């Protein structure tokens, strides 16, 4: 039953990712952390995010901004080991709270104009890339700093969404290397991979008819609910 529920979550997350270009881990992290725990859950979420980006990137290859991507990738690779250190040092209850907090930051970042306007040029790219790399390893939620930079630097949406797939591939590979491969049975991981690929395929079809606004609305509802449940579980874990 656990892998079925996780597969459904990965399928929905992949559909939203394909339509909007972002949001895969934000949608998936709540359910999968509740099902597999804060360490294994995030590792699985990042691995599935890597699959989603690898499947999607051939469709968006021609829109990638390689120069901008590089200035976001290398600071993230430098910051990534510090995220792994945080994961190793914190107990599960604290990790749940950290993941919930980062999810809330991810959801609220778009409503902080001062944040976006300060993230421009090379300095903004370095700061955003470093934050994204750190958050990606710690919680799988590396997207919000990238999105904030895209808004502040007026990065065209199509180019940003395409470039984000390349950036996520780099960050996700490093994250899996630092966190280690999942300990979940191979057949269960395979099921999640199939669900993710199927979601990307269905999302490609739906993207012709479903408004990104509707997909973003669904993403926000699922993400807020998931973050809140993870937060409650983390608080309860501190006292149990």
Quick one: pLDDT at residue 164?
Answer: 87
The model's pTM: 0.83
Q: Which DSSP symbol is given to 153?
A: T
> Is there a contact between 94 and 146 (Cβ–Cβ < 8 Å)?
no
pLDDT at 119: 65
- Residue-by-residue DSSP string for 186-218: HHHHHHHHHHHHHHHHHHHHHTTTS-HHHHHHH
**Predicted pLDDT of residue 215:** 64
What is the pLDDT at residue 70?
Answer: 94
pLDDT of residue 19: 78
Q: Which of 10, 57, 29 is nearest to 234 (CA)?
A: 29
Per-residue confidence (pLDDT) for residue 50, from 0 to 100: 92
Instruction: Please give the pLDDT value at position 106.
Output: 65
The string of DSSP codes covering 64-116 is: --HHHHHHHHHHHHHHHHHHHHHHHHS-HHHHHHHHHHHHHHHHHGGG-HHHH
State residue 26's pLDDT score.
79
pLDDT reported for residue 189 = 92
Distance CA 84, CA 137 (A): 6
Instruction: List, run by run, the mean pLDDT of 10-residue segments along the chain (240 residues).
Output: 90 85 79 86 90 87 90 94 88 80 70 62 84 85 78 79 90 92 90 93 82 68 71 75
């Amino acid at each position: 039953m656990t892998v079925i529920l996780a597969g459904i979550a990965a399928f929905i997350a992949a559909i939203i990712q394909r339509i909007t270009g972002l949001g895969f881990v934000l949608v998936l992290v709540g359910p999968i952390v509740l099902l597999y725990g804060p360490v294994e859950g995030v590792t699985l979420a990042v691995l599935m995010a890597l699959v989603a980006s690898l499947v999607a990137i051939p469709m968006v290859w021609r829109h990638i901004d390689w120069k901008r991507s590089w200035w976001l990738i290398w600071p993230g690779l430098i910051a990534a080991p510090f995220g792994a250190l945080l994961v190793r040092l914190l107990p599960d209850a604290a990790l749940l709270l950290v993941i919930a907090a980062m999810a809330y930051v991810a959801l609220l970042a778009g409503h902080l104009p001062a944040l976006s306007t300060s993230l421009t040029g090379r300095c903004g790219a370095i700061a955003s890339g470093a934050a994204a790399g750190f958050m990606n390893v710690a919680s799988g939620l590396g997207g919000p700093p990238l999105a904030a930079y895209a808004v502040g630097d007026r990065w065209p949406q199509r180019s940003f969404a395409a470039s984000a797939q390349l950036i996520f591939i780099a960050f996700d590979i490093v994250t899996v290397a630092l966190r280690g491969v999942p300990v979940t049975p191979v057949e269960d991981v395979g099921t999640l991979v199939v669900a993710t690929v199927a979601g990307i395929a269905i999302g490609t079809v739906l993207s012709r008819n479903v408004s990104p606004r509707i997909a973003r609305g669904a993403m926000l509802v699922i993400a807020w609910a998931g973050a809140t449940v993870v937060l409650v579980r983390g608080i309860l874990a501190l006292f149990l």
